[in-house]
Amino acid sequence: MIDVCEGTIELNLGKDLKMKFDIKDTMRKPTIEEGYVSSETDEYKKLLDTFRPVPNILSIEGLDRPVCEVMAEQAQGDWSELKAPKVDLKPLPEGLRYAFLGENSTYPVIVNSDLEPEQLSALLVELRKRLNPNLKEVVKKEILKLLDAGIIYPISDSTWISPVHCVPKKGGITVIKNDKEELIPTRTIVGHRMCIDYRKLNSASRKDHFPLPFIDQMLERLANHPFYCFLDGYSGFFQIPIHPNDQEKTTFTCPYGTFAYRRMPFGLCNAPATFQRCMTSIFSDLIEEMVEVFMDDFSVYGASFSSCLSNLCRVLQRCEETNLVLNWEKCHFMVREGIVLGHKISEKGIELDRAKVDVMLQLPVPKTVKDIRSFLGHAGFYRRFIKDFSKIARPLTRLLCKETDFEFDEECHKSWTLLKDALVSAPIVQAPNWDHPFEIMCDASDYAVGAVLGQKIDKKLNVIYYASKTMDDAQCKYATTEKELLAIVFAFEKFRSYIVGSKVIVHTDHAALRHIFR
């Protein structure tokens, strides 16, 4: 490993042959030390001729260009400053590659490309970070609790070391009064949580891309049942054991020692995918038939009381067979409705979580761009229930554009009020019935297109999904007929997963389009 913070680095290229780099001045033109310029030039050229570029070495993650000349920006002041110099990295000979130091991986160093991840981590290991003395008690309690449960154990010889952090444990969003008696949205801090900074380990880990279920499809399978049981896993991730050979990779350091996990901790990049794979494997023959699984939330349903009870018995028996522990305090049995992933499901269909809507209704008028972004984020989570969401929210979304002055005028206030009213009056959407044809209603305005997906059952139109989007500058210049056709194209793309293989009826109020389709 070569540390560039001193300003110069040296490479041994062979017996009695050295190469010197000066980061500030000579990195553009590497030169041989003065003692070897005249005597070893030919041998040095022959040595370089034997080097063949390796494609994977030249492809460096995080760079806009894979290969470029080394151009070091003239450093101002002392090289010990925390600010790293900006450099473009030069292709390296075979057997060498770049690694990066610093909190944001900004200091490049040159290392042997044959190093194993453990060896590289040992070279680049960082010192443990300081911990606020007021938070030591939080770490101490958590360490003692995990030791008593056998989840962690002391270790001293690991090549992987990750630091400990304490982050605020926040409750749900609420509204409180400030010193000026103004209502402001906030998330109250109810405590602190110990967590591990596994960024170094995650960067060296091969990513697991096991998919999580789509929320809307999962809710549609759960809706329209008379009885439900909602189960919650106890300390979900800690129920997954780690292979003994990999436990030392989870090593973390704190003021009370160095420890490693026997069970899967939070913070690992592959932890969610691993847990979802495990739960899917356990309930593979029951999913989409009597239970839905999203991480550690299990939703059991049935067409009748006896059917739901029978399904619950099968799920609980599977939990016993696989030693899956449940948190009984958070479980609900044989209920008519419940909250799943921020939505209320029942025999009627899918609704908004009214508790979340009530909090949003208490939010004061936005005063900053951050307030606008927060409000649109919360409202956008329920845009499936709001007709012409993009059209209504356009005055607010324009305030998020760069180089736009924040001016919450009357038009923005009207948009903000209409969105809150739309949340209050949001309809109950239904799950699709695959035995009936789908109907799509499309419309276009000067700057937005919208569509509604529904089904007519017993002469009643059941709404399944509202969708909308704003047009870009080029689309806003379309003719009226083109905009109406754009709305239809948007609807077919948005609802493709519903309408593929099904009969579809399209409704439009534009006479010219009906003539085109003939």
Domains of the chain: 215-240+268-349 (3.30.70.270), 438-517 (3.10.20.370)
pLDDT value for 68: 40
Give the pLDDT band of residue 86 (cuts 50, 70, 90).
low
CB 103 within 8 A of CB 124: no
Residues 294-322: what's their mean pLDDT?
Answer: 95
Question: Cβ contacts of residue 299 below 8 Å, gap of 6+?
Answer: 222, 228, 229, 230, 231, 291, 292, 293, 338, 340
Question: Cβ contacts of residue 381 below 8 Å, gap of 6+?
Answer: 342
- Return the top range by mean pLDDT from 12-16, 301-305, 404-408: 301-305
Q: Which residue has the higher pLDDT, 4 or 421?
A: 421
**Mean pLDDT over the full length of the chain:** 82
How many CB atoms are closer than 10 A to CB 381? 16
pTM of the model: 0.71
**Could you give the 3-state DSSP secondary structure of residue 462?**
strand
Question: Cβ contacts of residue 286 below 8 Å, gap of 6+?
Answer: 311, 314, 315, 318
CB 360 within 8 A of CB 424: no
CB 160 within 8 A of CB 152: no
pLDDT value for 518: 66
pLDDT single digits (tens) 144-154: 999 999 999 99
How far apart (Å, rounded) are the C-alpha atoms in residues 205 and 198?
Answer: 10
**Residue 81 pLDDT exceeds 60:** no
pLDDT single digits (tens) 326-378: 999 999 999 999 999 999 999 999 999 998 898 888 888 888 898 899 899 98
pLDDT value for 50: 54
pLDDT value for 58: 40
Q: What amino acid is encoded at 518 in this protein? A: R
**Residue 6 pLDDT exceeds 90:** no
Cα→Cα distances 454→338, 409, 433, 437, Å: 24, 36, 10, 9
How far apart (Å, rounded) are the C-alpha atoms in residues 59 and 56?
Answer: 5
Which residue has 């989007």 as its token pair? 469
How far apart (Å, rounded) are the C-alpha atoms in residues 258 and 158?
Answer: 9
* Strands in 144-202 per DSSP E: 152-154, 162-177, 183-196
How far apart (Å, rounded) are the C-alpha atoms in residues 142 and 138?
Answer: 6
428 HSE (CA, 13 A, CB side): 9
